[in-house]
């Protein structure tokens, strides 16, 4: 996927000082333009409708937990979750609900930029600690072979496409994609699309940062 520049970003966080600080840091990045911001969870959708963007930076702990909103928001725009909490259950839940990245607020802006670039290119971005937790749940070797067609399905699913979208890309029926996925899940011993994305990254089918 070719990354369009500049990357248009909306920041959603209920702490004004954090929003202003993040805007001040990102304004020095030539690849980035901040096109909007929201200070309340109930303002995010309206902000997305008003300001066209390529990526949403969403605080996971606003005045209500943003987990309830991620699925609907992720259907509109790629979402990177920002969180001060490093409770892995919430971060993994955010990914499972459609977020394309998770960045802990203690990270440096350079790490956030890595995540932004990666997600803008169509990839998934997770901290090493989350990658390790997911890797520990993969019970079978990444050397378990997939057919070329199954690898194509894995690539598109790992990049966040729904079954109907994968079917259109591959000129197949949606039931055929479901059949492929059932076979893939059994072969790899993965439980869901998040673990499948991690498999795809470890097998070199897609990239997922950071790698260091």
Q: Are 23 and 49 in contact (CB under 8 A)?
A: no
Looking at the DSSP bridge assignments, the partners of residue 65 are 61
What is the CA angle 102-45-29, rounded to 5?
Answer: 50
pLDDT given for residue 144 in this prediction: 55
Which domains does the chain carry?
7-125 (3.40.50.2300), 135-209 (1.10.10.10)
Q: Are 194 and 95 in contact (CB under 8 A)?
A: yes
Q: Which helix (H) or strand (E) holds 115?
A: helix 109-120
pLDDT given for residue 67 in this prediction: 77
Q: Which residue has the tokens 């969180």?
A: 83
pLDDT given for residue 207 in this prediction: 65
pLDDT given for residue 66 in this prediction: 72
Q: Would you give the DSSP letter of residue 144? A: S
pLDDT given for residue 2 in this prediction: 53
End-to-end alpha-carbon separation of the chain, Å?
Answer: 23
pLDDT given for residue 177 in this prediction: 94
pTM reported for the whole predicted model = 0.68
The first and second tokens of residue 77, run together, are 């725009």
Of 205, 12, 197, the C-alpha closest to 95 is 197
pLDDT given for residue 188 in this prediction: 83
Q: Are 133 and 87 in contact (CB under 8 A)?
A: no
Mean pLDDT by 10 residues, the chain (212 residues): 81 94 92 94 91 94 77 91 82 83 91 92 82 58 71 88 92 93 87 81 68 43
Give the Cα separation of 170 and 180 in Å (integer). Answer: 12
pLDDT given for residue 134 in this prediction: 64
Give the Cα separation of 72 and 10 in Å (integer). Answer: 16
pLDDT given for residue 211 in this prediction: 44
Q: Are 31 and 55 in contact (CB under 8 A)?
A: no
């Amino acid at each position: 996927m070719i990354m369009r520049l500049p990357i248009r970003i909306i920041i959603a966080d209920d702490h004004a000082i954090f929003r202003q600080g993040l805007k001040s840091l990102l304004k020095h990045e030539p690849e980035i333009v901040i096109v909007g911001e929201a200070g309340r969870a109930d303002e995010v959708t309206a902000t997305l409708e008003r300001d066209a963007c390529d990526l949403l930076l969403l605080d996971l702990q606003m005045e209500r937990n943003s987990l309830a909103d991620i699925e609907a928001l992720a259907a509109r725009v790629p979402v990177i979750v920002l969180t001060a909490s490093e409770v892995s259950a919430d971060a993994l839940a955010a990914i499972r609900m459609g977020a394309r990245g998770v960045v802990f607020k203690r990270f440096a802006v350079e790490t956030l930029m890595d995540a932004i670039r990666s997600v803008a290119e169509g990839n998934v971005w997770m901290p090493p600690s989350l990658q390790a937790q997911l890797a520990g749940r993969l019970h079978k070797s990444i050397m378990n072979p997939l057919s070329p067609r199954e690898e194509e399905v894995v690539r598109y699913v790992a990049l966040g496409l729904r079954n109907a979208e994968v079917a259109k890309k591959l000129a197949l029926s949606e039931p055929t994609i479901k059949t492929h996925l059932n076979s893939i899940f059994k072969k790899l011993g993965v439980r869901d699309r998040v673990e499948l994305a991690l498999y795809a990254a470890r097998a070199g089918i897609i990239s997922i940062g950071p790698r260091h």
